[in-house]
Amino acid sequence: MKRNDNKTKKIDEKLQGSSLKFIQKQENPKKVYIESYGCQMNMNDSEIVASILLKQGYNTTDDIEEADLILLNTCAIREKAEKTVRNRLKHFNKLKQNHPETKIGLLGCMAERIKEKILEEEKLVDLVVGPDAYRNLPELIEELEDGRKAVNVLLSKEETYGDIEPVRLHSNGVSAFVSITRGCDNMCTFCVVPFTRGRERSRDPESIFNEIRDLKNKGYKEVTLLGQNVDSYLWYGGGLKKDFVKQPEEVKKNAVDFARLLDMTAEKFPGIRIRFSTSNPQDFNLDVIKTMAKHPNIAKHIHLPVQSGSDRILQLMNRKHSIAEYKSKIDAIRKYIPDVAISQDIIAGFSTETEADHQATLELMDYVKYDFGFMFAYSVRPGTAGAKNLPDDVPQEIKLRRLREIIDKQQEHSLYRMQQFTGKTVEVLIEGNSKKSAQHWMGRNAQNAVVIFEKNGNYKPGDLVKVKITDCTSATLFGNAIK
Ligand code: SAM
């Protein structure tokens, strides 16, 4: 088997630009092609869109040429994404020359900001729909059929799509995403999410359990609870998180927070491995750590973005914790869950970042020795407080040099963490064939490390298998299944 000594797990790009395919209802006369970019939430949103359109007479296709409707689900988190989107829209319009009746739509986080430009000026799309307006798609598509253009980019106070069962199109049949919150209230100065996805609201626990129950009945073995800041989850009967304080005492008393949701989920679904993402250090607390330690079916992995190792930069970013507080959370996590994996997001070259700030980030990395991470050079996002109030004054070549140093350090630490597994036996949930060899299975252990092992047993995707680890790279473990 050919092995990739995988540079570093900088960012998992495998879903970027992927199209959703093959959900068929015989009676459906039309076809929709959906291409998705960005975070896991966006991928999950595309599945919600597919579900809404399935009821509207559309099957999904991965053959763009046969599509009646082409949808591009966009991400606005970094600058590069916008260029990709424009290029894709131009490409779709070329295809449209041969199929003039095909409609093109833009979904997701870029919808609000570029709607006028792409709809009226550049005439690249027929339809623009923001992340809270997908329920309105049937009416908007009707408008298109009447020969008009259609737009809805309104953000909502309540929408969680809780009652819509996503069509699992990004899934391997083993592991699925389940959204538990939408929007974000954090207002980090670099981040566009509060503007594109609106204020934070949580989803009814019952609808979350129903979705997981349904997944379980369909044979799924793992769910990832998703949100921009899952630890801030708070269900008090519906509505915005910020309005919780105005609720009567009785309502407050019965509210469900993230630790409680996690506890209930783990208890209700003992055969399902539970993951969650993303945790924000300011809200991640001891109750969550203790809940993780209590339940063997909660995966031992915490994604805890820090963004910078410098208190001064954290303040400028409007992150609401210090490095000392972050380190004490890391210490508590390791105390209660010694074999946990911890991963990070880090931004290199934020406004006014000095060499000393950058060194502080490298020092923090040495302290934590993260298992893996997602690392980015800072790019100013329009509309954010960073864009309005802070200079983008770190030259691009310095940003990229610092990013390189951060990635190199992460690679060292990833290798170190993976080496700790060699000689040990880990439990692996098989997800499918290894991409490089049909003679090998690919799965993940509880720490979210990818494990490749030879197919020498009667196993199938969805099985939990004990694997003795014999070798590793910084991104992959290799081993043999043991009976
Ligand atoms: N809600 C999470 C948090 O704030 O910790 C993650 C939000 S975002 C979808 C994922 C990551 O993208 C962030 O953690 C950050 O590292 C990166 N990011 C967001 N805005 C950025 C920007 N303007 N420039 C570079 N990276 C950015």
The model's pLDDT over 353-392, given as tens digits with 9 standing for 90+, comes to: 999 999 999 999 999 999 999 999 999 999 999 999 999 9
379 lines ligand 1 (CB under 6 A): yes
Is a pLDDT exceeding 90 seen at residue 10?
no
Phi and psi, residue 408, nearest 5° = -60, -45
- What pLDDT was estimated at residue 313? 98
Relative to the CA of 188, which ligand 1 atom is closest? 4
Is a pLDDT exceeding 50 seen at residue 56?
yes
177 lines ligand 1 (CB under 6 A): no
Is a pLDDT exceeding 80 seen at residue 237?
yes
DSSP H stretches of helix in 117-229: 137-145, 193-197, 205-217
- For atom 2 of ligand 1, which residue has the closest CA? 228
Sequence-separated (6 or more) residues with CB below 8 Å from residue 87: none
pLDDT more than 90, % of the chain: 80
Distance of alpha carbon 471 from alpha carbon 148, whole angstroms? 59
228 lines ligand 1 (CB under 6 A): yes
How far, in Å, is the centroid of ligand 1 from the Cα of 191? 6
Relative to the CA of 379, which ligand 1 atom is closest? 24
378 lines ligand 1 (CB under 6 A): yes
81 lines ligand 1 (CB under 6 A): no
307 lines ligand 1 (CB under 6 A): yes
Q: Are 50 and 71 in contact (CB under 8 A)?
A: no
Coil, strand or helix: which one is 128? strand
Sequence-separated (6 or more) residues with CB below 8 Å from residue 430: 174, 441, 442, 443, 459, 460, 461, 462, 463, 464, 465
- What pLDDT was estimated at residue 79? 80
Mean pLDDT of the chain: 92
